[in-house]
Amino acid sequence: MSFTDVDGIRGMLVQMGLGTPSSRAFTVGGIVGVAMYALGLPKESFTDEGDMRPLKALSPHPSATNVHFLVVPVGAAVAAYLFT
């Protein structure tokens, strides 16, 4: 096994397999999504039983909400793609 020199944050990201913006965005979105789901955030996106509510724009269901669960993870992934 050979070790290569890792110079800075970019070198470390490449060594970990996160050398492209799309791979970093996918990783960030996944981590944020799992964390948000584990914490049950945003609270408006979940029923009292823990089920996800549908998005009001896509569903006529009476308990539908305007705050969807995937907004924050997708936003985090887009930010990671654009700014890293």
Rounded-to-integer distance, Cα 5 and Cα 37, Å: 37
Residue 32 domain-assigned (yes or no): yes
Q: Does residue 4 surpass a pLDDT of 80?
A: no
pTM of the predicted model as reported, rounded to 2 decimal places: 0.74
Domain residue limits at 61 = 20-83
Residue 63 domain-assigned (yes or no): yes
Per-residue pLDDT tens over the stretch 39-52: 888 888 888 888 88
Q: How many domains does the chain have?
A: 1
Q: Does residue 2 surpass a pLDDT of 80?
A: no
Question: Are the CB atoms for 63 and 22 separated by under 8 Å?
Answer: no
**C-alpha separations of 53 from 33, 34, 49, 68, 82 in Å:** 16, 17, 11, 8, 29
Residue 15 domain-assigned (yes or no): no
